[in-house]
Amino acid sequence: MDHLIDQILRKTVGLSFDASVFGWIIAVAFILNIALCVRIVWVKGSRPNAALAWIATLFALPIIGLMLYLVIGENRIGAVRRRRHARIVQEIAGISQEWTDPRVLASSMSTTDTQMAHLGETAGAPPVLNGNLLQLSGDPAEQLQWMIEDIDAAKQSVDALFYIFKQDATGTAVAEALGRAAMRGIMVRLLLDDIGSRKFLRSHMRKELEGQGVHVTAALPASILRMPFKRVDIRNHRKLIVVDGKIAQTGSRNVADPNFKGGETSKVGAYIDSWIRIRGPIARDLHILFLEDWGLDAGLHGSRKLPDEPTLEVGGVPAQVIPSGPNFENNMVATLIEAAIQLSRREIVFTTPYFLPDSATLAALEVAARRGLRVTLIVPRANDNKLVALASRANFARLLDAGVELWEHRHGFLHSKTISVDDELAIVTTANLDRRSYEINFETSIVVYDNAFATQLRRLQQSYLADSDRLDEATWQKRGTLARFAENLANLMSPLL
């Protein structure tokens, strides 16, 4: 056997390497993989599909599988970072104040809304707060205008957190507004994901902002040296601006031109996003969420005192902030989505750029459609992630068979992440319908318990449908064998993504 290995290494592969050494490497890798399998069963026992996929990978590719698991196998954000987060949460809780206006906590909601709100609270989310005025926009020019207007109107602080910050026209406009605020004496903090905004964080534009007084920090720094201690692809995927602790903006929009990946000249097209502007009490919860993230990488500089609490807005509606991420040690995104499906009575509509749900969410969608609900899923036709696009399509046949309406948006890249339930409840989120958002990324979801806002969101979703084509089950079943095989092959890797 050693002779055969030696011949393969020398003559076929072209390596001058002793076969016995190679055998020892394989043997050691095998022993390590056995030990790792024990850990996988211990850590991932509640997710048998993921556990079996990793075990199969380890034995099929002993060395590569071992390296992959050490890098991306577990959601390790680092013991030091986890302890730091616990201290930050305690410290911010100490400086937070109880609401002086009792009406903020006195929301009148339906039984369904109350159940959803209670679900969030039991997972550690803040309670539902009343008196929020919300504006919804699907227009990129209007979204940018809101950002600039609120930053220019700041009197005390501007806190911004984004996954992607580009040095294009949009990035320049936002950077100039942040610089103007800092030069007026406003406390300005900019937290950017180290992977998503890597070029900006190493750019001259960052240096200019810091020269103007803007505090810029990289979220979740990633490097090869950190790999043994934490999973480097855990990312802060939030998009958030908070001004004076009273006005907040969030949604799927990054600080980038809509066509930052090529626009009409690329197969993906311009990004299509949803964005909300909030005045009222939940802006304070979003501010606290920013401070927690900021403290993880920059300490609590300048955050010892929160601004005065936002006032309850006349005509405002109840809403709730649902944060999620590996430091929360919950599966809140998946739980929130499954609860929305289960609580819906007539119709539920999803828009998402990446559709790679776990088996529980997939089953919930099927059951909802089979019990007579209108279940609509809108995804982009062209996707910027080919592997995820293939894996998601592997699930389309079973959803179509169950009666789920599947629509492919044909103009641009539909990046909006929204859920509307019965025109009564609305969710605007940074999270995708995929495992990365479920278990790995730091995400933010806003649940709005108001019929009028839910109807407004439903109209925005309807505009997406107008530019989409519905998949026909019979036509879908006729696609080629090669396409089906590629989709199923990609889907086998889905528990690892």
85 is catalytic: no
223-250: pLDDT as tens digits = 665 555 566 678 899 999 999 999 999 9
Q: What is the mean pLDDT of the chain?
A: 84
192: tokens are 């950017």
Opening angle at CA 8, ends 3 and 13, nearest 5: 150
Confidence of residue 52 (pLDDT cuts 50, 70, 90): confident
Under CATH, what is the fold of the domain 332-496?
A: Endonuclease; Chain A (3.30.870)
Round to whole Å and give the CA distance between 428 and 446.
Answer: 5
Section 38-51 average pLDDT? 71
293-338: pLDDT as tens digits = 998 887 765 555 677 788 888 889 999 999 988 776 667 888 889 9
Under CATH, what is the fold of the domain 79-108+130-315?
A: Endonuclease; Chain A (3.30.870)
434 is catalytic: no
Nearest to 208 by CA among 179, 248, 236, 186: 179
Secondary structure of the chain in HEC code, one letter for each residue: CHHHHHHHHHHHCCCCCCHHHHHHHHHHHHHHHHHHHHHHHHHHCCCHHHHHHHHHHHHHCHHHHHHHHHHHCCCCCCHHHHHHHHHHHHHHHHHCCCCCCHHHHCCCCCHHHHHHHHHHHHCCCCCCEEEEEEEEECCHHHHHHHHHHHHHCCCCEEEEEECCECCCHHHHHHHHHHHHHHHCCCEEEEEEECCCCHHHHCCHHHHHHHHCCCEEEEECCCCHHHCCCCCCCCCECCCEEEECCCEEEEECCCECCCCCCCHHHCCCCCEECCEEEEECCHHHHHHHHHHHHHHHHHCCCCCCCCCCCCCCCCCCEEEEEEEECCCCCCCHHHHHHHHHHHHCCCEEEEECCCEECCHHHHHHHHHHHHCCCEEEEEEECCCCCHHHHHHHHCCHHHHHHHCCEEEEECCCEECCCEEEECCCEEEEECCCEEHHHHHHCEEEEEEECCHHHHHHHHHHHHHHHHCEEECCHHHHHCCCHHHHHHHHHHHHCHHHC
463 φ/ψ angles, rounded to the nearest 5 degrees: -65, -35
- Which pTM does this prediction carry? 0.85
237 is catalytic: yes
Choosing from 166, 417, 423, 434, the catalytic residue is 417
Confidence of residue 387 (pLDDT cuts 50, 70, 90): confident
Nearest to 294 by CA among 209, 158, 189, 214: 189
40: tokens are 């996988």
Q: Tell me what pLDDT residue 9 has.
A: 47
Round to whole Å and give the CA distance between 427 and 418.
Answer: 6
**Residue 478, Cβ neighbours under 10 Å: how many?**
7
Higher-pLDDT residue of 35, 342:
342
Round to whole Å and give the CA distance between 364 and 233.
Answer: 29
Choosing from 159, 194, 244, 293, the catalytic residue is 244
Burial category of 152 from C-beta neighbours within 10 Å (exposed 0-12, middle 13-18, buried 19 and up): middle
Round to whole Å and give the CA distance between 150 and 465.
Answer: 31
244 is catalytic: yes
Round to whole Å and give the CA distance between 420 and 249.
Answer: 19
72-98: pLDDT as tens digits = 666 666 556 667 767 777 776 666 667
Spatial CB neighbours of 104, under 8 Å, sequence gap ≥ 6:
129, 130, 131, 281, 312
Section 351-364 average pLDDT? 91
Choosing from 237, 246, 287, 409, the catalytic residue is 237
Q: Tell me what pLDDT residue 146 has.
A: 98
Choosing from 239, 246, 287, 409, the catalytic residue is 239
Residue 454 has pLDDT above 70, yes or no: yes
Residue 471 near residue 448, CB atoms below 8 Å: no
62-74: pLDDT as tens digits = 777 777 776 666 6
Residue 407 has pLDDT above 60, yes or no: yes
Section 161-187 average pLDDT? 97
Round to whole Å and give the CA distance between 290 and 12.
Answer: 56
Q: Tell me what pLDDT residue 463 has.
A: 97
Round to whole Å and give the CA distance between 404 and 344.
Answer: 14
422 is catalytic: yes
Which position has the token pair 């992977």? 195
Choosing from 85, 166, 230, 415, the catalytic residue is 415
Round to whole Å and give the CA distance between 398 and 410.
Answer: 22
415 is catalytic: yes
- Ranges for all domains in the chain classified under CATH 3.30.870.10: 79-108+130-315, 332-496
